[in-house]
């Protein structure tokens, strides 16, 4: 039987932890009872430098029941890093890890299906929201805009999937080869590859506490997502340069015609033509420099060049 660890990043979640831990324990116990996962399965909370009593609750839980584990980060390092620290800590201890939020907005009943898919041989199971009815209109619109934007910039992501997913031991191993500091897990996990599938679920409202993702963090998250995956913005500079170059040729022709027709004051033609020409040359040069910066950026990330799924000799 497979050992499955639940990994739950928590930041100032004292209002939700007592209820969350209760429900997760029920879930894990029922899965164990149904012989779907092994007795060694655990619930791992990661305290992302909370300033409230989150960690003391975790410690208490661990004392009461050894199924609860706790990791405390030295300071608030953000959701993505907290999640990664949990996943990398349980790597090697389990056959699969399921990541989920502390507020249980993601329906934990989907976990049964996650485990079924995993037992069928899938390495990555993405939880996908079937509808966003329960989200505020603002969150819904911004989130959808975000997916569209990411798609436009060529970042491969699973639509309507947040960080609610199961990853097998070997998928976690492959993930650990991604050493990048600007972490955007939703973009990285599809790059890891392996056999994957999706499971749909209803997204609930947060049952207590407040969102730890205010608009400011959401925008930072989106910018991080784009800039850690795409060099398209750099290419756009070059494209704009080309467009301006074409414009400057047209402007040159226009001003020459005006000059020939004698409809200009002295010096106008040269000034107008040189403004456009210089503008386009500058943009093109920036684009060229950017192209090299883009290459450096890719090298610096040092992403794995390949991940082997199976080899037969």
Span near ligand UDP by CB under 6 A; candidates 62-70, 122-130, 169-177, 210-218: 210-218
- Report how far residue 230's alpha carbon sits from residue 111's, in angstroms, rounded to the nearest whole number: 32
Helix (H, G, I), strand (E, B) or coil at 133: coil
Span near ligand UDP by CB under 6 A; candidates 30-38, 96-104, 150-158, 190-198: 96-104
What mask of x and - would describe binding to ligand UDP in positions 25 to 64, judged by CB under 6 A? Answer: -----------------------x----------------
Query: Which C-beta is closer to ligand UDP: that of 11 or that of 68?
Result: 11
Q: Least CB distance from residue 103 to ligand UDP, whole Å?
A: 4
In sequence order, the 6+-apart residues with CB closer than 8 A to the CB of 131 are 202, 203
Q: Contact between 78 and ligand UDP (CB under 6 A)?
A: yes
Q: Say how many residues make up the chain.
A: 313
Rounded to the nearest 10 degrees, what angle do helices 17-33 and 110-120 cross at?
Answer: 40
Strands 124-129 and 165-168: antiparallel
- Report how far residue 114's alpha carbon sits from residue 280's, in angstroms, rounded to the nearest whole number: 53
Query: Which C-beta is closer to ligand UDP: that of 11 or that of 201?
Result: 11
Among 13, 48, 95, 103, binds Mg ion (CB under 5 A): 103
Query: Which C-beta is closer to ligand UDP: that of 59 or that of 72?
Result: 72
Q: Least CB distance from residue 186 to ligand UDP, whole Å?
A: 12
Q: Contact between 13 and Mg ion (CB under 5 A)?
A: no
71 contacts 89 by C-beta, under 8 angstroms: yes
Q: Least CB distance from residue 59 to ligand UDP, whole Å?
A: 17
Q: Contact between 105 and Mg ion (CB under 5 A)?
A: yes
37 contacts 3 by C-beta, under 8 angstroms: yes
Alpha helices in the chain (DSSP H): 17-33, 54-64, 79-90, 110-120, 137-152, 169-175, 185-192, 215-227, 232-260, 268-301
Query: Which C-beta is closer to Mg ion: that of 101 or that of 107?
Result: 101
Q: Which residues contribute to the site for ligand UDP (CB under 6 A)?
A: 9-11, 13, 48, 76, 78-79, 82, 101-103, 105, 211-213
């Amino acid at each position: 039987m497979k050992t499955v660890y639940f990994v739950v990043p928590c930041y100032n979640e004292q209002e939700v932890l007592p209820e969350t831990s209760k429900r997760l324990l029920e879930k894990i116990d029922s899965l164990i009872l149904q012989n779907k996962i092994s007795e060694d399965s655990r619930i791992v909370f990661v305290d992302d430098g909370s300033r409230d009593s989150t960690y003391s609750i975790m410690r208490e839980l661990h004392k009461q029941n050894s199924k609860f584990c706790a990791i405390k980060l030295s300071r608030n390092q953000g959701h993505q890093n907290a999640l990664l620290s949990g996943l990398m800590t349980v790597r090697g201890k389990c056959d699969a890890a399921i990541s989920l939020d502390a507020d249980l907005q993601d329906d934990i009943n989907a976990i049964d299906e996650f485990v079924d898919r995993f037992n069928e041989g899938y390495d990555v199971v993405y939880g996908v929201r079937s509808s966003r009815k329960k989200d505020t209109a603002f969150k819904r619109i911004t989130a959808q805009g975000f997916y569209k934007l990411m798609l436009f910039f060529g970042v491969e992501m699973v639509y309507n999937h947040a960080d609610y997913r199961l990853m097998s031991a070997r998928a976690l191993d492959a993930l650990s080869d991604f050493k990048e500091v600007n972490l955007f897990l939703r973009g990285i996990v599809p790059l890891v590859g392996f056999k994957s599938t999706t499971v749909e679920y209803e997204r609930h409202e947060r049952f207590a506490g407040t969102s730890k993702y205010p608009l400011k963090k959401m925008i930072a998250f989106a910018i991080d997502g784009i800039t850690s995956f795409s060099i398209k913005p750099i290419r756009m500079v070059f494209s704009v340069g080309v467009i301006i170059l074409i414009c400057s040729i047209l402007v040159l022709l226009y001003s020459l015609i005006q000059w020939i027709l004698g409809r200009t004051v002295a010096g106008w033609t040269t000034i107008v033509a040189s403004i456009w020409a210089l503008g386009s040359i500058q943009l093109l040069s920036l684009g060229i420099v950017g192209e090299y910066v883009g290459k450096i950026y890719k090298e610096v990330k040092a992403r794995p060049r390949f991940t082997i799924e199976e080899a037969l000799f």
